[in-house]
Structure 1
Amino acid sequence: MSFERAAEISVYLKKYTVGIAGCGGLGSNCAVALARAGVGKLVIADYDIVTIHNLNRQYYFHDQIGRLKVHALRENIQRINPDVSVKAFDLKLCTSDIVDLYSKCDVIVEAFDKAEMKYMIIETVLSRIPGKPLVVGVGMAGWGNTNLLHCRYSENLIICGDESSEVSESLPVLAPRVGVVANMQANEVLKILLKEFKPVHE
């Protein structure tokens, strides 16, 4: 029965498009989770390349070092689920790009490293694409303290993380906490997309 329900959900999710801004620790892991669930189309954007320092938390492989993240991530997603359409854009997002690329997406995921970029996409979506659900990640540095990770809701803005732990020399970003928050984001996206889902097999 659980396999049937999962298959129904995957078919249902094919009609949706999710935009992911940034393909680092949050973006790459969130994108893979959504692809595994069956989301039909992902719109990803990032301007960076894969480095050896990314491999401790991001969904890339050693032989992809030096490649653009958007191309490497698209390849990894299509190896997992070839039915997912991945539109990859190699660019540093600005306000106009966010509107152009993500306004037609059903949900947008913020996955930037820098605080100023996080603020920029929040302000842009709230002011230029009002009503569009935006799922952001704030506070995931370090290790342990899993109980402090949570989701906070403010109308169409959903914040995942502990909202306090900032990256520093003594508090690096590591796979476990980053992965938890990325999957929290993916889970919130699914909650939005599956709001009207009605299973065929009860």
Structure 2
Amino acid sequence: MLNLKNESEFRAEIFARNPRGVSEILSRARVCILGAGGLGSNVAIMLTRAGVGEFFIIDFDIVEASNLNRQHYFLRHLGSPKIEALKEQILGINPYAKVQICGEKITSENVREILRDEKIICECFDGAENKAMIANLAGEFKDKIFICASGMAGLGGANSIQTRKFGANLYLCGDGKSDMSAGLISSRVVTCAAHQANAVIMAILGKFKV
């Protein structure tokens, strides 16, 4: 059991394997995650373990049994709002993290107001229409970085999932295909989530170029 007196001691111990100076940058970063399902829940956990210090997580759904094959939840979370269950896990890894949650459904009417002050936005929605809505905002908000996902279903090779840059501030992770008939398998979903988490980290550090 760790017996660390303050946040600086905690970060020095838990994130000791980060390169020098990286932990400090990540600890000051804020990331907005849209959707807390197969992509969003795994992205949030990976970013927490990397040392990101602040989150804004938006989702209106609850944890169901069918989520457990690929989403970062456990039996104890069934019936709980995903944002609450995910916040619990984040704080279980880093009790000093700041986690803001919102149970509002994102629509074309409220999306601009909700994302107004966000700088790094990770789109982790399920529906193609919602994904397109967020990706289309990249051209409108040049001061924000959008990291979106498209294509992670089925049993295809993991190497087909890539990160590509479109324009100045839009990154798209996945294989670019949308075939939900092939099912959702955790390995490919988490592979895509890892691409998103890595893109977020590189964006925070100002080193992400494709």
TM-score by shorter chain over 0.5: yes
Letter of the 1:132 partner, please give it: K
SS at match of 2:180: coil
* Alignment correspondent of 1:173: 184
* Alignment correspondent of 1:134: 146
* Alignment correspondent of 1:195: 206
More off after superposition, 45-54 vs 80-89: 80-89
* Alignment correspondent of 1:8: 21
Following superposition, the deviation at residue 121 of structure 1 comes to 1.5
More off after superposition, 101-110 vs 173-182: 101-110
- Cα RMSD of the aligned pairs, angstroms, is 1.7
Identity within the alignment, %: 38
Following superposition, the deviation at residue 125 of structure 1 comes to 4.2
* Alignment correspondent of 2:99: 86
Letter of the 2:60 partner, please give it: Y
* Alignment correspondent of 1:66: 79
Following superposition, the deviation at residue 96 of structure 1 comes to 4.5
Deviations 1:6-29 (A, max 9, x none): 463222211111100100000000
* Alignment correspondent of 2:59: 46
Which aligned pairs between 1:109-124 and structure 2 lie closer than 5 A? 109-124=122-137
Deviations 1:99-122 (A, max 9, x none): 233232231000000001111112
More off after superposition, 116-125 vs 46-55: 116-125
Deviations 1:58-113 (A, max 9, x none): 01111110011011111111101112111010111123433233232231000000
User: Alignment length, in residue pairs?
Assistant: 192
Deviations 1:108-162 (A, max 9, x none): 00000000111111223432x2331100110000124112111110121100000
**1:159 equivalenced with 2:199 (yes/no):** no
* Alignment correspondent of 1:199: none
Does the CA-based 8 Å contact 2:122-2:196 persist in structure 1? yes
* Alignment correspondent of 1:36: 49
SS at match of 1:3: coil
Does the CA-based 8 Å contact 2:119-2:143 persist in structure 1? no
C-alpha distance in 1, partners of 2:58/2:67?
17
Letter of the 2:201 partner, please give it: L
Does the CA-based 8 Å contact 2:47-2:197 persist in structure 1? yes
* Alignment correspondent of 2:162: 150
Runs of 4+ off more than 6 Å = none
Q: Is the alpha carbon distance of 1:63 and 1:96 closer, same or farther for their aligned partners in structure 2, counting shifts above 3 Å?
A: same
Stretches of structure 2 that go unaligned for 5 or more consecutive residues are 1-14
SS at match of 1:86: strand
SS at match of 1:32: helix
SS at match of 1:92: coil
Following superposition, the deviation at residue 195 of structure 1 comes to 1.8
More off after superposition, 108-117 vs 8-17: 8-17
